[in-house]
Amino acid sequence: MAMVDQNEILFERAQKTIPGGVNSPVRAFRQVGGTPRFVTKAKGPYFWDANNKRYIDLIMSWGPMIVGHANPEVIEAVQKAAETSFSYGAPTEGEIELAERICAVMPSVEQVRMVSSGTEATMSALRLARGYTGRDLIIKFEGCYHGHADSLLVKAGSGLLTFADSTQNAPSSGGVPQDLVKHTLVLPYNDVAAIEEVFKKQGDQIAAVILEPIAGNMNLIKPSKEFLSAIRNLTSKHGSVLIYDEVMTGFRVALGGAQSLQGITPDLTCLGKVMGGGMPMAAFGGKKEIMSKLAPLGSVYQAGTLSGNPVAVAAGLKSLEIISRDGFYECLGGQTQKLMTGLKQAADKANIPFSVDSEGGMFGFYFTSQIPTSYEAVTKSDVEAFKKFFHLMLDEGVYLAPSAYEAGFTSIAHDNEVVNAIIAAAENSFKKL
């Protein structure tokens, strides 16, 4: 007698009251096909679905769970905070401690404002940049996703790569007015000539340049040194604000974020994911001169009922404490590199065009012989091969991002046993492709 698939039952039920059956589009499995896995519990590097099948998790809540699911130390901190109430709507000492910790490990951040999501952080940072400069134009790059604020949904990455109309200069989401899009210039990632040309023509109109310092929403794409240097030099020369969107890379690729690896000092930085330890928590911060334009000191308004939520702050503080311990990133990065090497060797053995890349606990793999360096290159990878590989790995008990356009994530709980199990699953899967 065939087992009833509880995931299918839950998905059918969810679609009656939740649009598409999910609360974030990529979870719907639309690109890869099939039925989403409904999670019942998670521990360390694993989660279990509604059929009680265990999976090795390689998205880790899309990045936040860097210390592993249900980490005992984080749970203890959250429980202790929850005993004194979930929310106050008033300041707490914990907020100060978290702000001090962020400023200590990211020298470019002199002051920081806490919010509840990455979208809120990037949206607020752009408003602040416009208020500070008195200009309207912003520059973003093809394939980079900075949340779902209207002015940023232009050639965006992440789930938008799956769903967007690629019409040149069009919004990549319905409901976004063309009048908003006209204030956003979209340039190719890693294209130095393009950024130089735009600043030459419109430098005095550009309020800000926002970028993912390591793109993770068109799979993992690293910037060239020349690209980063050009952006920093041009924004400084023309008085524009350089915004590093480190919602994904912050505390994930290194304790000091991608900026600490690249030697770049941005004017503003957006953070999220890891800094909340899995709780809804994000922030934006930077130069005191710019941050002082925020209300209540300045004219740029930003507010939030749950900003600096005490339970989320407790989870974030404990997570930052754990990742600050000696050897944490050496171990995390080493295990991720071991995983990538194993996947590459397995693909080569099966004669499948395949390339890999990683930084810290963040990785990308591509069904193409060369590591992509742009949005255009990513879209030329073999998506059909990825779809087949995704489902073969799912059968093997390994949960990958359900899209060829997403980076993957490991945690400190992904030890040798777990990494070896993933590589073994990949070897079996590549043989069947």
Catalytic residues: 145, 245, 273
Residue 313: enclosing H or E segment and its boundaries?
helix 310-323
CA separation for the pair 424, 295 (Å, rounded): 54
Closest CA to 195 of 211, 216, 171, 218: 211
DSSP label of 269 = E
User: Which residues, including other chains, have CB under 8 Å from residue 12's CB and lie 6 or more apart?
Assistant: 21
Identify the H or E element spanning 316.
helix 310-323
Is residue 240 within 8 A of residue 234, CB to CB? The reply is yes
Instruction: Tell me the three state secondary structure of residue 95.
Output: helix
**What would the two tokens of residue 430 be?**
């590549």
What is the dihedral angle through the alpha carbons of 217, 218, 222, 225, rounded to the nearest 10 degrees? Answer: -100
Query: Rounded to whole angstroms, how far apart are CA atoms 317 and 99?
Result: 10
Q: What are the tokens at 161?
A: 């790569």
Task: Give one DSSP letter per residue of 372-432, joined into a string.
Answer: --SHHHHTTS-HHHHHHHHHHHHHTTEE--SSTT--EE--TT--HHHHHHHHHHHHHHHHH
Helix (H, G, I), strand (E, B) or coil at 133: helix
Q: Are strands 355-359 and 362-366 parallel, antiparallel or unpaired?
A: antiparallel
